Every structure is written in structure tokens, then in C-alpha cells.
Amino acid sequence: MTVDYAPTLVALLFGLGFSCLFMALAVLFGPKRGGETKLSPFECGSDPIGSPRVRFSVKFYQVAILFLIFDIEAAFLYPWASQFRRLSCIGPMAGLSCLGTVTLFGFVEMLVFLGTLGVALAYVWRKRAIGWG
């Protein structure tokens, strides 16, 4: 029951506790020597020109999103790789070796997935979403 979630609670408390602890330590023991120069913007020693809210080309976002999507899809390869032997075996396993029949199931599944991803890539490429021109 609720007791099962106790470790989560403990982890949460630990996390909160430690971050608070270190911040408190820093406040307590850190030397505090402030001054006008210390608080002024220091980069290149000059005031900023213009608003920081510059309008970027939408292409930045587009490329960023595309990267994100394909990156996340690619991340799916890791769990697949770790389970690849399991997916390729019908029957019991001893360690990493298969005692039953070895199948192409895992392989074909990943081919289908990559194929779908390939279609998406082809589409994106064809629509010139990756190019900058």
C-alpha cells in the first residue's frame, strides 16, 4: 500500500534536504564582499545594445525541433539494443544465449521502425526543412 511509495518519499526528502543544506551552507559560510563593480555587467565591459529579445528566424526552431524529434526516436534504439537478444529468441534463455529458436523478430521490428523514421526523414528533406536557403 502507501508504504510501497516510502522510498520515493525518502528520495524526495533527500533531494530537497541536500539542496537546501548546500544553499544554506553557502549562505552561512561563503564570504560576502560586494561592490559596484562586482554587480555591474562585466562582459566586454560595455552596456548592452538593443533589446535582448531578438527575433530569430523560425528556421532555428524548426531545425531544433527536428533534431529533438529524431534524437528522441534514436534514443529508442538503446532499450531495443539492450533487449535485442531477448527479442530474437523464442523459448528459454540461459544468460545471453538462446536455448529455443532464434528469430528475426527483433530485427524486423527495428527495420519497420527505422523505415517509418526514414519516411519522415525523406519527407523533411524533400520539403527542404533541413536546408537553410
Q: Which residues bind another protein (CB under 8 A)?
A: 1-2, 86-90, 103, 105-106, 116, 119, 122-123, 126-127
Minimal distance, residue 67 CB to another protein, in Å: 19
Q: 51 or 101: whose CB is closer to another protein? A: 101
Q: Which triple of cell numbers denotes residue 14? A: 533527500
Q: 19 or 83: whose CB is closer to another protein? A: 83
Cβ count near 85 (within 10 Å): 15
Q: 23 or 104: whose CB is closer to another protein? A: 104
Minimal distance, residue 90 CB to another protein, in Å: 6
Q: 2 or 37: whose CB is closer to another protein? A: 2
Secondary element (H or E) of residue 97: strand 97-98
Minimal distance, residue 14 CB to another protein, in Å: 22
- Each residue of 33-72: b (16+ CB within 10 Å) or e? eeeeeeeeeeeeeeeeeeeeeeeeeeeeeeeeeeeeeeee
Residue 50 DSSP symbol: S
